[in-house]
Amino acid sequence: MRSRALLAAALAAAAATVAAQGGGYAQRYADSCAACHGAQGASSLALTPSLGGQPSFYAITQLFLFREGRRNDHSLAPAMAAMAKGMSNEDLRGFSDFIATLPPPPPPDPAAADPLRLERGKALAERHLCLACHGKDLSGGRNVPRLAHQREDYLQIALKGFRSGVRAGYTNAMGEALAGLREPELEDLAHYLAHQPR
């Protein structure tokens, strides 16, 4: 009886250690993802999204779409599809759970924001229900991505992709929300989301 208790305790300790280390996915992220998406999930590469602060459910869905060849909405999609192609379901879960532990990207320098574009972008975000789905602070949750402080260039690609129908979503909600917006309006919206006040 005592040996069983010791074995159970040892297994629990081992499981806790694996969980704390991301089941090895912390190292795999460092080896495979950090060069583009940043060691702490804050990307400094053009057109490459920051992953920090993204919910696990959202991350696993995107990895699944890449693995299945259903994300073809920007120039880097083929590289992500190739990366995800060999991932098992366990890998999708492991990477997404680790990504969810990364801190949100830091806010950009307030001096880089254009006050008029922020005002126009905020009005668009309110009118087109961005805050209703992505949260008042745009931090997302569950299957809804964090938008606050995402790279502005990446946000422009995503918004334009949803509006045109090139970018796959869970439903057509994003396409409907962005329907009728002109390109300058999408750019103002991306500016507001990226430079969300602290």
Q: Residue 187 belongs to a domain with what CATH number?
A: 1.10.760.10
Tell me, yes or no, whether 168 lies in a domain. yes
Tell me, yes or no, whether 23 lies in a domain. no
Q: Supply the pLDDT for residue 21.
A: 45
Tell me the CA distances in angstroms from 148 to 105, 145, 156, 157, one per residue in order.
8, 9, 13, 15
Residue 141's beta-bridge partner residues? 144
**CA angle in degrees (0–180, nearest 5) for 12-17-18:** 100
pLDDT at 68 over 90: yes
**pTM, 2 dp:** 0.86
Mean pLDDT for 193-198 is 88
Q: Supply the pLDDT for residue 198.
A: 67
Q: What is the pLDDT of residues 166-178, one digit of tens each?
A: 998 888 999 999 9
Residue 3 exposure: Cα atoms within 13 Å on the Cβ side: 0
Tell me, yes or no, whether 135 lies in a domain. yes
Tell me, yes or no, whether 57 lies in a domain. no
Dihedral in degrees, nearest 10, Cα atoms 79, 84, 28, 145: 90
Tell me, yes or no, whether 151 lies in a domain. yes
pLDDT band at 197 (very low <50, low <70, confident <90, very high): confident
The structural domain count of the chain equals: 1
Percentage with pLDDT > 70 across the chain: 88
For 110, which DSSP code?
G
Tell me, yes or no, whether 154 lies in a domain. yes
Tell me, yes or no, whether 116 lies in a domain. yes
Tell me, yes or no, whether 42 lies in a domain. no
Are 157 and 47 in contact by the 8 Å Cβ rule? The answer is yes
Look up the domain containing 170 and give its range: 110-194
Q: Supply the pLDDT for residue 171.
A: 86
